Amino acid sequence: MRLAERMKKINPSTTLAITSKAKKLKSEGKDIVNFAAGEPDFDTPDFIKEEAISAIKAGFTKYTPTTGIPELKKLVCEKFKKDNGLEYSPEQVIVSCGAKHSIFNTLFVLADPGDEVLIPLPYWVSYPEMANLCQATPRFIRTELNNNFKMTAKDLEKNITPKTKVLILNSPSNPTGCVYSREELEVIAKVCVAKKIFVISDEIYEKLIYDGKKHSSIGGFNKDIYELTVTINGLSKSHSMTGWRIGYLGAPKEIAEAISRFQDHSTSNPTSISQRAAVAALSAPDDFSKKLCEEFQKRRDYCVKRLASMKKLEVCVPQGAFYIFFNISKTKLDSNTFANRLLDEKYIALIPGAGFGMDDYCRMSFATSMEQLTKGMDRLEEWLKQ
Ligand SMILES: Cc1ncc(COP(=O)(O)O)c(C=O)c1O
């Protein structure tokens, strides 16, 4: 079949292969410990569900304005101001079907075919594929464990070429959990302003930061970087709403206007019912995400302690998000072999680092119960000793 040329470069999601194998084993009755989850294991809070049910009953089931209902956009503006020091007016805010959709829309309106998109490595699996879908070229900036996988301004400068158009930043990061400080982002911002590079700042894990560390939003530092930055966020992780598909962005007017036009002719509005649920979520105090964060910090502490005691692994201690990225080179296995053998022999599902650009690492998620974490850690320890 003659599919479009652009699809030749698009890889299937690497996280999917291992999770579908785990699902199959589970359906065969195997006692699978799932360390592969990309979503909080908590249910969406009831007050949010209730609002969605009321919306359905009241017949709020039709098209809405493409970029979101005014009430929700106003709340997003207030959130950006309160949490991030970012001043956006409602016409600068676009609500979309998840943060993934917001990032794709942004890349689509910013990157021309042949433009280079800078992506720190390891990266979230979808960034390079989104660049490929836009027929732009992903260019990776390798980062190191000894700097907690954070890109420095020097690393950035070295990778800028005349074709560089966009930098994608992700703090807290998936898969490493690294969190950039304000000072680190300020020097990065200076380079982007000097070289006129757009920044897509993916802040979806903003509410999950540990040890009292603070989140910084690069777009809020000064007018120059504000004019180049699109700030991405959403409710998937902060409110355990992955299935509701609500993400949003704040952008300079011209960019927001282009994204609005693009969304007009692609998906139109995000689901009306989910938008009402999002209004409930953003109107309430942050209690739910605080509770989530406290619980995740306990789990992170437990897992880091257990992994650090396993001599064959080297651990990057995450400061945010709900993943631990650890080095497996001492096992002399590549990440796919490591993950597949662990699944076949010990029924533990985790994600091979190859999908994030690092074949000598694996990513485990601690978005599962303490009971499961303990069981999984015991099995992993036993397996590594063998
Ligand atoms: C770094 C990162 N950005 C964006 C997303 C997408 O979030 P959403 O579910 O809102 O599309 C994810 C989801 O796993 C993620 O890990």
Q: Is the CB of 234 under 6 A from ligand 1?
A: yes
pLDDT of residue 8: 87
- 39, 41, 201, 237: residue to mutate for ligand 1 pocket, most atoms within 8 A of CB: 237
How many Cβ atoms from other residues are within 10 Å of residue 350's Cβ? 27
218: tokens are 């690069």
pLDDT of residue 72: 98
Q: Which residue has the tokens 């964060």?
A: 293
Q: Does the reported pTM lie above 0.75?
A: yes
With contact defined as beta carbons under 8 Å apart, do 253 and 91 qualify?
yes
pLDDT of residue 184: 98
- The Cα 297–Cα 102 span in angstroms is 28
pLDDT of residue 206: 98
Strands 229-234 and 198-202, sheet pairing: parallel
- 15, 104, 126, 149: residue to mutate for ligand 1 pocket, most atoms within 8 A of CB: 126
- The Cα 128–Cα 123 span in angstroms is 8
pLDDT of residue 63: 98
Nearest CA, atom 14, ligand 1? 38
pLDDT of residue 13: 78
CA of 103 relative to ligand 1 center, distance in Å = 9
pLDDT per residue as tens, the chain (386 positions):
899 988 988 888 777 788 899 999 999 999 999 999 889 999 999 999 999 999 999 999 999 999 999 999 999 999 999 999 999 999 999 999 999 999 999 999 999 999 999 999 999 999 999 999 999 999 999 999 999 999 999 999 999 999 999 999 999 999 999 999 999 999 999 999 999 999 999 999 999 999 999 999 999 999 999 999 999 999 999 999 999 999 999 999 999 999 999 999 999 999 999 999 999 999 999 999 999 999 999 999 999 999 999 999 999 999 999 999 999 999 999 999 999 999 999 999 999 999 999 999 999 999 999 999 999 999 999 999 98
Q: For a pLDDT cut of 90, what percent of the chain falls above it?
A: 94
- 16, 19, 174: residue to mutate for ligand 1 pocket, most atoms within 8 A of CB: 174
CA of 220 relative to ligand 1 center, distance in Å = 22
With contact defined as beta carbons under 8 Å apart, do 39 and 240 qualify?
yes
- The Cα 170–Cα 139 span in angstroms is 15
- The Cα 121–Cα 109 span in angstroms is 23
- E-strand ranges in the chain read 33-34, 93-96, 116-121, 137-142, 164-170, 198-202, 229-234, 247-250, 314-316, 323-327, 348-349, 351-352, 361-365
Q: Using one digit for the tens of pLDDT, what is the confidence trace for 357-366?
A: 999 999 999 9
pLDDT of residue 15: 77
pLDDT of residue 125: 95
CA of 286 relative to ligand 1 center, distance in Å = 20
